[in-house]
Chain A
């Protein structure tokens, strides 16, 4: 994607605002390997925060901590000033694209509806408010035209829009995205990333966007957390995405080129394994 738009400046963060996400002295290890430690970080409402790094650097684990699915080894993590509670309504989550089997008994609207009340017990008894909410969400992500189509027959990009709608159902204060653009074509990458951007810069949610490829969202990103080899750097893309900083992080010469708003990183140690995410 070639972007000539100027990057939006970080949203104004009102003086008395408390951070949406706050980490202090956070450390996490995987077996005997330290993924990251001594991480102090405040992510403000309205901020589009990208998490970058090679495979196994702990990007996904970082999200799992925020989701409450993984415990920090040391340190604290707060969301809106409170300890993280699994399944909190203040969190939205968009996972990696994963296709549904063709005979899944759900239409697009039913999938979005799971985000509205799928966690509640019992069967749905009153449906008018539910229907209105689902229609609104479908409209927000531009999915009205396939609202009644079976999810198993939709393209990966269409399914990912629905997952975005599902995640936005609670109008979350914090939106966590795990490689949401992976395996989407350019058109849907743009659509989904601009939707996520709207949630941060217009609706003032904090967005944490885990990705191995910054370019599709470069015009939206306010700050970057770059994880590599047990170390990390935090800052604006201009500060972090430089030859000097990345060479230092990787302990090997890495060259960062800029062309037409795009960032090209040359010489990454694991550049060939980018598409086999695991950690």
Chain B
């Protein structure tokens, strides 16, 4: 395969007009998942749960692989795996340090289980591959309804706990003193996150869930701190990545995930560039002059991007 073949495999737009109606369901599913990923991603970033998302995704993969093996509903298997993983993390690891080591221990085990189940499975190879790398090409009406239904439930729940969850994520001690049920919210959020991960896996696969749940929010945080704008940008970035990825993948025979992750990554890079240009000009404070009279206080720069 020479370069020409590679390019024509990656970008193929023959018969595009005929193909487009066939992926109507996929586009709707992608847009809904983008909306969900963008919303929940802002809390994932605030609560420093990027690694947890990765861990949950591997266990979700194990659940889906098991469902595939025994002939059960793959989405249901994936949901069970990720909600169990998310609940375990929510109940066990309160501090980030504990949590990360628990994830580090459990994640390879989940992945190993998944590989075991897939090795035992004797069906189509494409099904196996799809769990890891995404499979949106044919979303039927039943799947679409399940997916959209779950996503809507998660979004309603998220809206209901939005303010106290923000408070608890920003400053748990203060929120607790003010009567916010910090621990209950934390566990509920993990369940919502588990469901979101399981749904996202249906589109981008277990390995690339971070592109949908982390990257858009991380990109948005690079360019603004206004909470409303962060959410708006994060949702926009996620939707553009998924829908754009599906549209680009349409003509070729390559899974959609490389397209989704590349768009998502490009947006993140662009936001980083904007952010570093701005801080070089020193305008991140939002006001012109120094704010306090404290001598020698400079604007601190973000040390690194907390992704991955």
Residues of chain A touching chain B, judged by Cβ–Cβ distance below 8 Å, are 67, 69, 86-88, 91, 93, 95, 98, 100-107, 110-111, 114-115, 117-124, 143, 145-146, 148-155, 157-158, 163, 166, 185, 187-188
Give the shortest distance, in Å, between B80 (CB) and chain A (any CB). Answer: 29
A-B contact pairs, 9 of them (CB 8 A): A69-B177, A91-B177, A95-B171, A103-B302, A105-B46, A111-B170, A148-B286, A153-B284, A188-B292
Give the shortest distance, in Å, between B221 (CB) and chain A (any CB). Answer: 4
Q: Return the contact of A87 from the options B178, B220, B300 (Cβ within 8 A).
A: B178
Are B302 and A119 in touch, CB under 8 angstroms? no
Among the 9-residue stretches B54-62, B100-108, B224-232, B237-245, the one with 4 or more Cβ atoms under 8 Å from chain A is B224-232
Given A104-B46, A155-B292, A166-B174, does the pair A120, B226 have CB atoms closer than 8 Å?
no
Chain A residues whose C-beta falls within 8 Å of the C-beta of B294 in the assembled complex: 155, 157-158, 185, 187-188
Bound state CA distance, A122 and B160, in angstroms? 4
Give the shortest distance, in Å, between A73 (CB) and chain B (any CB). Answer: 21
B291 touches A (CB below 8 Å): yes
Given A102-B300, A149-B285, does the pair A123, B292 have CB atoms closer than 8 Å?
no
Are B174 and A95 in touch, CB under 8 angstroms? yes
Give the shortest distance, in Å, between B174 (CB) and chain A (any CB). Answer: 6
B98 touches A (CB below 8 Å): no
Q: Return the contact of A88 from the options B164, B179, B303 (Cβ within 8 A).
A: B179
Bound state CA distance, A93 and B225, in angstroms? 25
Chain A residues whose C-beta falls within 8 Å of the C-beta of B170 in the assembled complex: 100, 104, 106, 111, 114
Chain A residues whose C-beta falls within 8 Å of the C-beta of B161 in the assembled complex: 121
Interface residues of B in 261-305 (CB under 8 A from A): 284-287, 289, 291-295, 297, 299-303, 305
Q: Which of B160, B167, B299 has the most CB of A within 10 A?
A: B167
Are B180 and A119 in touch, CB under 8 angstroms? yes
Bound state CA distance, A188 and B305, in angstroms? 30
Are A103 and B284 in touch, CB under 8 angstroms? no
Chain B residues whose C-beta falls within 8 Å of the C-beta of A107 in the assembled complex: 225-227, 286
Given A114-B167, A146-B285, A150-B284, does the pair A121, B174 have CB atoms closer than 8 Å?
no
Given A106-B227, A149-B291, A188-B294, does the pair A119, B301 have CB atoms closer than 8 Å?
no
Could you tell me how many residues of chain B have their Cβ less than 8 Å away from some Cβ of chain A? Answer: 49
Given A150-B284, A157-B292, does the pair A102, B163 have CB atoms closer than 8 Å?
no
Bound state CA distance, A93 and B175, in angstroms? 10
Are A122 and B306 in touch, CB under 8 angstroms? no
Q: Which of B176, B178, B230, B293 has the most CB of A within 10 A?
A: B178
Are A120 and B285 in touch, CB under 8 angstroms? no
Are A105 and B163 in touch, CB under 8 angstroms? no
Are B167 and A102 in touch, CB under 8 angstroms? no
Q: Return the contact of B230 from the options A87, A105, A111, A145 (Cβ within 8 A).
A: A105
Are B285 and A153 in touch, CB under 8 angstroms? yes
Which chain A residue shows the least CB distance to B218?
A103
Bound state CA distance, A123 and B226, in angstroms? 15
Chain B residues whose C-beta falls within 8 Å of the C-beta of A153 in the assembled complex: 284-285, 299-300
Are A145 and B291 in touch, CB under 8 angstroms? yes
Query: Scoring B residues 27 to 49 as 1 if CB is less than 8 Å from chain A, else 0, what string do you get?
Result: 00000000000000010011010
Are A151 and B306 in touch, CB under 8 angstroms? no
Which chain A residue shows the least CB distance to B291?
A146
Are A120 and B163 in touch, CB under 8 angstroms? yes
Give the shortest distance, in Å, between A14 (CB) and chain B (any CB). Answer: 29
Are A118 and B175 in touch, CB under 8 angstroms? yes
Bound state CA distance, A110 and B295, in angstroms? 26
